Amino acid sequence: MDICHITSAHERYDDRIFLKECKSLAGAGQKVSLIVHDELGYEKKEGVDIYSTGIKYRSRKKRIFSGNRKILKVAGNLSADIYHLHDPELLLIARKLKRQGKKVIFDSHENYRLQIMEKEYIPAVLRPVISEIYQWVERRLLKYTEAAIIPCSFEGQNPLQGKTRIVEYINGYPSMKVFYEYYDKDVKKEDSICYVGGLSEQRGIKNLIKAAALSKIRLILAGEFSSEEYKKEILAMPEMKFVEYKGKLTWDEIREIYQKTRIGMSILKNCGQYDKMDNLPTKVYEYMSMGLPVIISDSPYNKIIEREGMGICVNPADIEEISQAINKLLRCPQEARCMGEKGRKIIREKWNWEKESRKLLELYEKIQTA
C-alpha cells in the first residue's frame, strides 16, 4: 500500500502520528509519506518520506483555509492510494480526495465536540454553537471517508458510530521501546513528584501546584503552556517556590524525570472530554511504563487505577485531598513501589503500542480489500 498521512496542526515528529503510526506502517513494509506544515523541507526518516508545505502557520484561520490548499497541492504530487487525515479541518479536503478515487481515513485524536467547549481561545458564549456546528460538519464530511479512528469510547458510547463505514478504537499507548525498556529499578529516587504534558487550566495545573506546596514537596513540571497569559499567571503564583519548571523536553530528559521522581501526577479537571473518556491520559501510561505510582482524577474510568492497585484517585478540585494522597505515597515507599510494578505489568501485558499497532495494520488491510 502507498499511504500518505497528513497533519496541519502537529509537528513532523509527533508522538502519535510519526513515532507510532507512520513508523509502524513503514516497519510493516508499507510505502509511507507524511505531509506537514513547517519550514524544514523534505526528509527521509525511519522509512517515512516527510514532505512540507514550506510554511508554519501562526493563525488558525489561515492554516485552515490557505493551508488546506497547500496540502492538497503536495498530496496531489504523491498519488498515494490511502490518505490518513489527523486534524478536524482536514475533513474539508476529504471530498476532493474521494472524488480523485482515493481512500480516506480520519484519525480523531480527541472528542472534538466536547473539547471545543473547553477551548480558551473561543469566547465562552460561542462554544456551544461552534460545538454543534462542528458535529454537523463532521457528520456530513465523514461520509467521504472509508474509516475513522478514535482512541476510545466516551461513557460507553462511540461518538463516530454510523458516520462512516468502519470505526476503530486505537489507543495511543506508549511504545515499550520509548519508556518501558529504559526503566532502572536501582536508580535512587528524589523527594519529588512530576507532571509532564500540556499546561492548561483544564489540566488542573493550579491545584497541582497548590497541593505540592501544601505537602511541601518539589514538583517537577514540564511541557508547554496553553497561552502566554496562562504562563504568566502560573509563574506568578507564590507556591511556585516548590516547583521546578523544565519547559519542553526531549525524550531522554522526560525519561530521566520519570526515573528520579516518586509519583506521576494527572489531576485533569472533570470537564470537556476528560471525565467521559474510557481510557487514561497518555502521560499516565508513560508514568506506569517507568514504574511510577499514579495520582489521578476520580473520573469513572480512571477508577481502574485503584481497582488494579496502581495508584490513588482524587477529586481534582480538592487540594487537601490531593495533598493527602501525595503524603500517603511518600510515607509508604514500599506500597508505592508495588503500585509502580503493577502498572509496569499491565503495560507489558496489555497497554503498549506494540500490541495496539496491530489494529492499525488490520484496519488498512480491511480498507485495501473493500
How far apart are the C-alpha atoms of 298 and 23, rounded to whole Å? 34
Q: With 90 as the cut, is the pLDDT of residue 369 above it? A: no
Q: How confident is the model at residue 202 (pLDDT cuts 50, 70, 90)?
A: very high
Residues 6+ apart with CB under 8 A from 218: 190, 191, 192, 193, 212, 242, 243, 244
Q: Are residues 289 and 227 in the same domain?
A: yes
Q: With 90 as the cut, is the pLDDT of residue 154 above it? A: yes
Q: Are residues 110 and 185 in the same domain?
A: no
CATH number at residue 53: 3.40.50.2000
pLDDT of residue 65: 82
pLDDT of residue 174: 96
pLDDT digits (tens, 9 = 90+) for 93-114: 999 999 999 999 999 999 999 9
pLDDT digits (tens, 9 = 90+) for 314-359: 999 999 999 999 999 999 999 999 999 999 999 999 999 999 999 9
pLDDT of residue 363: 96
Q: How confident is the model at residue 205 (pLDDT cuts 50, 70, 90)?
A: very high
Residue 21 has phi, psi (to 5 degrees) of: -70, -55
Q: Are residues 322 and 216 in the same domain?
A: yes
Question: Number of folded domains in the chain?
Answer: 2
Q: Are residues 240 and 282 in the same domain?
A: yes
Q: Are residues 256 and 321 in the same domain?
A: yes
Q: How confident is the model at residue 1 (pLDDT cuts 50, 70, 90)?
A: confident
Residue 217 has phi, psi (to 5 degrees) of: -120, 145
Q: Are residues 285 and 364 in the same domain?
A: no
Q: With 90 as the cut, is the pLDDT of residue 79 above it? A: no
The mean pLDDT value for 291-308 works out to 97
Residues 6+ apart with CB under 8 A from 171: 151, 152, 279, 351, 356
- Specify the higher pLDDT residue, 80 or 59: 80
Q: With 80 as the cut, is the pLDDT of residue 91 above it? A: yes
Secondary structure (DSSP) of 83-125: EEE-SGGGGGGHHHHHHTT-EEEEE--S-HHHHGGG-TTS-GG
Q: With 90 as the cut, is the pLDDT of residue 119 above it? A: no
Q: How confident is the model at residue 142 (pLDDT cuts 50, 70, 90)?
A: very high
How far apart are the C-alpha atoms of 112 and 167, rounded to whole Å? 16
Q: Are residues 234 and 166 in the same domain?
A: no
Domain ranges, residue 204: 180-349
Residues 6+ apart with CB under 8 A from 154: 111, 114, 273, 276, 277, 278
Q: Evaluate whether 297 touches 266 at the Cβ level (below 8 Å).
A: yes
Q: With 80 as the cut, is the pLDDT of residue 370 above it? A: no
Sign of the dihedral through C-alpha 248, 279, 125, 122: positive
Q: Are residues 152 and 241 in the same domain?
A: no
Q: With 90 as the cut, is the pLDDT of residue 189 above it? A: yes
Q: With 90 as the cut, is the pLDDT of residue 159 above it? A: yes
Q: Evaluate whether 321 touches 293 at the Cβ level (below 8 Å).
A: no
Q: With 90 as the cut, is the pLDDT of residue 120 above it? A: no
Q: With 90 as the cut, is the pLDDT of residue 143 above it? A: yes
pLDDT digits (tens, 9 = 90+) for 220-239: 999 999 999 999 999 999 99
Beta strands 48-52 and 43-45, pairing class: antiparallel
pLDDT of residue 327: 98
Average pLDDT, the chain: 95
The mean pLDDT value for 173-184 works out to 96
Q: Evaluate whether 174 touches 182 at the Cβ level (below 8 Å).
A: no
Listed range (29-33, 55-59, 91-95, 213-217) with the worst mean pLDDT: 55-59
Residues 6+ apart with CB under 8 A from 19: 13, 175, 178
pLDDT digits (tens, 9 = 90+) for 239-263: 999 999 999 999 999 999 999 999 9
Q: Are residues 118 and 206 in the same domain?
A: no
Q: Are residues 227 and 127 in the same domain?
A: no
Q: Are residues 217 and 364 in the same domain?
A: no
Q: Are residues 162 and 185 in the same domain?
A: no
